[in-house]
């Protein structure tokens, strides 16, 4: 456990300690990396039952249109993201990313249409920059309210709907990316059916002073176990989900990152609202002609994981690296080492064999499609 009292703490800090968590510093917060069960068991528990994550270090932001018309907030936000926000129906959520003038990704985020405002969840490490970015560009059209008095919980896994439904029956008919106001343990919450594990599940925005009560009510169920950042990372890696700062950054475009699916046709060339976001010329050109490099899945042969930073080569004896691993480790569900990284587009075809340098040795690794597991989102 960190003894440095200057690090920030979420409203669940004392609960983590009481549950025997090993704490680490992440994005300036004391956060649980694992509990007594260990990362492997926590990962597998989430895949088979339900895991509860504290993600209160994330930033929660409300964009409230000064005109009173949420479409004005959506139009303003579209000037910063290559995503269809204006067409997002009420009580629905969408994945998005801020881009820079070179087409790189400043950060990724979730955007929900709450009827009279937009509700955003931004990454912990980048939230100060994200908020400053929005204040600089959106203040004319929106009131920007950073919700400092809210916690954020994620309940993930095949039993998540059954467990949460026992506390709030109206969540059971929600579909993937639905958002709604829900009362849980007398707390006014905003619940989305989404997550970062490739499992069915929910993210729950809850008043900070009610966070412990809600967390304890969820943990009281036999199917639920507390899960730390270690398993959160291996779960998202199996799901082929990007971690900002590793797999995406300001030097990487959404096209290179294989996030084309998140850019709706209306914002692309020929669409009704094509372009108009930072880096549009670069991104739209790549959509038409293809990128030079691409994010891919990687399966190392053998049992040795290839961690982020591992250099990739075309041959065992090749002099120059052609790519690198950005996230890597052991996938408990697939029972093998897995990784993601960037390679030249002409080497991005599944089945292509490359070599990764691990402790001075060139070991074989095969390109494969993402994700490594089949997602279990509730689409209908």
How large a percentage of the chain has pLDDT more than 70?
99
> Per the domain annotation, does 178 fall within a domain?
yes
Judged on CB neighbours under 10 Å (0-12, 13-18, 19+), 283 is buried
Residue 35 has what pLDDT? Answer: 98
Residue 6 has what pLDDT? Answer: 80
Lowest mean pLDDT segment, chosen from 3-7, 113-117, 318-322: 3-7
Tell me the per-residue pLDDT of 58-92, one tens digit each, with 9 for 90 and over.
Answer: 999 999 999 999 999 999 999 999 999 999 999 99
Residue 290: both structure tokens together: 């293809």
Residue 49 sits in the same domain as residue 156: yes
Residue 85: both structure tokens together: 């926000």
Residue 219 sits in a domain whose CATH number is 3.30.1360.120
Q: What is the number of structural domains in the chain? A: 2
Residue 1 has what pLDDT? Answer: 43
- Please state, in angstroms and rounded to a whole number, the distance separating the CA atoms of residues 233 and 196: 9
Mean pLDDT of 43-71: 98
Tell me the per-residue pLDDT of 180-219, one tens digit each, with 9 for 90 and over.
Answer: 999 999 999 999 999 999 999 999 999 999 999 999 999 9
> Per the domain annotation, does 94 fall within a domain?
no
Backbone angles phi, psi at 278, to 5 degrees: -60, 135
Tell me the per-residue pLDDT of 230-249, one tens digit each, with 9 for 90 and over.
Answer: 999 999 999 999 999 999 99
Q: Is the pLDDT of residue 5 over 80?
A: no
Cis peptide, bond prior to residue 271, ω within 30 of zero: no
List, in order, residues 6 or more apart from 346 with CB less than 8 Å away. Answer: none
pTM over 0.75: yes
Residue 338 sits in the same domain as residue 199: no
Residue 160 sits in the same domain as residue 52: yes
- Please state, in angstroms and rounded to a whole number, the distance separating the CA atoms of residues 28 and 324: 27
> Per the domain annotation, does 108 fall within a domain?
no
How large a percentage of the chain has pLDDT more than 90?
98
Residue 2 has what pLDDT? Answer: 45
Residue 47 sits in the same domain as residue 164: yes
Residue 191 has what pLDDT? Answer: 98
Residue 179 sits in the same domain as residue 41: yes
Mean pLDDT of 25-52: 97
Residue 127: both structure tokens together: 């939230």
> Per the domain annotation, does 250 fall within a domain?
no
- Please state, in angstroms and rounded to a whole number, the distance separating the CA atoms of residues 80 and 82: 7
Residue 336 has what pLDDT? Answer: 97
DSSP string, 116-131: SSEEEEE-TTTHHHHH
Tell me the C-alpha to C-alpha distance, in Å, between residue 267 and each of 92, 102, 263, 271, 376. Answer: 18, 17, 7, 6, 28
Mean pLDDT of 316-331: 97
Tell me the per-residue pLDDT of 355-371, one tens digit each, with 9 for 90 and over.
Answer: 999 999 999 999 999 99
> Per the domain annotation, does 95 fall within a domain?
no
Tell me which of 238, 258, 282 is where a domain ends.
238
> Per the domain annotation, does 117 fall within a domain?
no
- Please state, in angstroms and rounded to a whole number, the distance separating the CA atoms of residues 123 and 59: 6
74: alpha, beta or left, given left = phi > 0 and alpha = psi -120 to 50? alpha
Residue 224 sits in the same domain as residue 296: no
Residue 22 sits in the same domain as residue 165: yes
> Per the domain annotation, does 101 fall within a domain?
no
> Per the domain annotation, does 318 fall within a domain?
yes
Residue 158 sits in the same domain as residue 44: yes
Q: What is the Cα gyration radius of the chain?
A: 21
Q: How many residues does the chain have?
A: 380
Residue-range definition of the domain harbouring residue 195: 8-56+149-238
Residue 179 sits in the same domain as residue 38: yes
Helix/strand/coil (H/E/C) assignment for every residue in 131-189: HHHHHHHHCCCEEEEECCCEEEEEEECCCHHHHHHHHCHHHCCCCCCEEEEEEECCEEE
Residue 302 sits in a domain whose CATH number is 2.40.30.110
Residue 51 sits in the same domain as residue 178: yes
Mean pLDDT of 146-166: 98
Residue 220 sits in the same domain as residue 336: no
Mean pLDDT of 132-156: 98
Give 5 or 303, the one with higher predicted confidence.
Answer: 303
Residue 299 sits in the same domain as residue 228: no
């Amino acid at each position: 456990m960190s003894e440095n009292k200057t690090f920030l703490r979420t409203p669940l800090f004392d609960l983590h300690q009481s549950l025997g968590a090993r704490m680490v510093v992440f994005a300036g917060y004391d956060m649980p990396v694992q509990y007594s069960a260990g990362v492997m068991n926590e990962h597998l528990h989430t895949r088979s039952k339900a895991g509860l994550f504290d993600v209160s270090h994330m930033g929660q932001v409300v964009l409230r249109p000064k005109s009173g018309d949420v479409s004005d907030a959506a139009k303003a936000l579209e000037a910063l993201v290559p995503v269809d926000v204006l067409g997002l129906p009420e009580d629905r959520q969408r994945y998005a990313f801020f881009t820079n003038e070179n087409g790189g990704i400043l950060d990724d985020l979730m955007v929900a249409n709450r009827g009279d405002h937009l509700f955003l969840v931004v990454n912990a490490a980048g939230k100060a920059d994200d908020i400053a970015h929005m204040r600089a560009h959106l203040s004319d059209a929106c009131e920007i309210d950073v919700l400092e008095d809210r916690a954020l919980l994620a309940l993930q896994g095949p039993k998540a709907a059954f467990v949460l439904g026992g506390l709030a029956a109206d969540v059971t008919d929600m579909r993937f990316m639905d958002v709604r106001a829900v009362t849980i343990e007398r707390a006014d919450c905003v619940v989305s059916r989404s997550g970062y594990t490739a499992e069915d599940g929910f993210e729950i925005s809850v008043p900070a002073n009610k966070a412990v009560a809600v967390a304890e009510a969820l943990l009281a169920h036999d199917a639920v176990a507390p899960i730390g950042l270690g398993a959160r990372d291996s779960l998202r890696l199996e799901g082929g989900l990007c971690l900002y700062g590793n797999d995406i950054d300001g030097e990487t475009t959404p096209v290179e990152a294989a996030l084309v699916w998140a850019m709706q046709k209306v914002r692309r060339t020929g669409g009704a609202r094509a372009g108009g976001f930072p880096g549009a010329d670069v991104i739209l050109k790549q959509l038409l002609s293809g990128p030079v490099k691409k994010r891919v899945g990687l399966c190392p042969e053998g049992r040795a994981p290839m961690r982020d930073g591992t250099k990739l080569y075309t041959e065992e004896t090749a002099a120059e690296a052609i790519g690198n691993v950005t996230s890597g480790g052991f996938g408990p569900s697939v029972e093998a080492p897995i990784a993601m990284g960037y390679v030249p587009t002409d080497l991005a075809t599944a089945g292509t064999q490359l070599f990764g340098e691990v402790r001075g040795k060139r070991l074989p690794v095969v390109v494969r499609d993402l994700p490594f597991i089949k997602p279990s989102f509730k689409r209908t």
